[in-house]
Amino acid sequence: MKKATAPRREFLKNTTIAFGMATNFSAIQNLEAGIRADSSKLTIACVGAHPGDPEFGCGGTMARYSTAGHHVVFVYLTRGEAFDPAKSASESATLRTREAEKSCGVLGATPIFAGQVDGATILSRSKEDEMAKLLESIRPDIVLTHWPIDSHPDHQVAGLLTMTAWIKSGKKFELYFYEVNTGSETMAFTPSEWVDITSVREKKKSAMFGHQTQSPEKLYDTLFKTMEGFRGFEAGVEAAEGFVHFRSKTIVASIQGT
């Protein structure tokens, strides 16, 4: 995998402003610009607590990245060991690993499993080091993870481990947060960027529906279809995914004429 060259890093850092001006009223900014970065290929890692989280949270955006030729990796913190009390942890893990691999195939992503256990994820110094090393080995240009203000403890852990890895890396990659099940899981989430997923909506749906153990039809009809439409409404397109671009510095806007 290639690392970003200095000019590409500058491009990634500066595109929010550049595209904000170029598209005038469009809310679609930095991530959207990255998809069209045809000068060199990017590596994007999406960290999720459970199989299905990356697909439901940002499957459309990741489908657009992989279709454009960029390298997409899904890092699953666990294998979904705890989803069914009637099954053993290993039976559940096997089932959900298979679903994740199938969905990754649909979205053009490479699955990696980070070895924590569903329902018992740990936030500690050693787990922070593990995540930092794992992400370092992927050498990502962009990393997306759970917004840590979330009712599910595993989502909190995934988000915070990733944020700490970003700090440990010297903030070498661009960090984004995504939302899942907003209202019941993700809370207090206000996107700073939107990506148009209208053209890949069916592909994302197919990846989501690969997670049959999660009753995806009900999840889609009651939550994700509405979220995609609402984020699309905010961005002025049919369907979109919203993200928070986490920045290490406050950007002070300049006021014209002063």
Q: Kindly list the residues in this chain that would bind Zn ion in the complex (CB under 5 A).
A: 49-50, 53
Burial 169-198 (b: 16+ CB within 10 A, else e): beebbbbbbbbbbbeebbeebebbbbbbbe
Smallest separation, CB 58 to Zn ion (Å)? 13
> Least CB distance from residue 185 to Zn ion, whole Å?
7
**Shortest approach of Zn ion to residue 50 CB, angstroms?**
4
Residue nearest to Zn ion (CB): 50
Cβ at position 133, least distance to Zn ion in Å: 23
Residue 125 or residue 218: which is nearer to Zn ion going by CB? 218
The nearer residue to Zn ion, 184 or 226, going by C-beta atoms, is 184
Minimum distance of Zn ion from residue 49's CB (angstroms): 5
Nearer to Zn ion, 53 or 141 (CB): 53
> Which residue matches tokens 């039809």?
217
Q: Which of 56, 194 has the CB closer to Zn ion?
A: 56
Looking at the Cβ atoms of 49 and 95, the one nearer to Zn ion is: 49
Paired with 240 in beta bridges are 196
Residue 139 CB coordination number (10 Å): 17
Which residue, 137 or 184, is less far from Zn ion as judged by CB? Answer: 184
Please state the closest distance from residue 141 (CB atom) to Zn ion, in A: 25
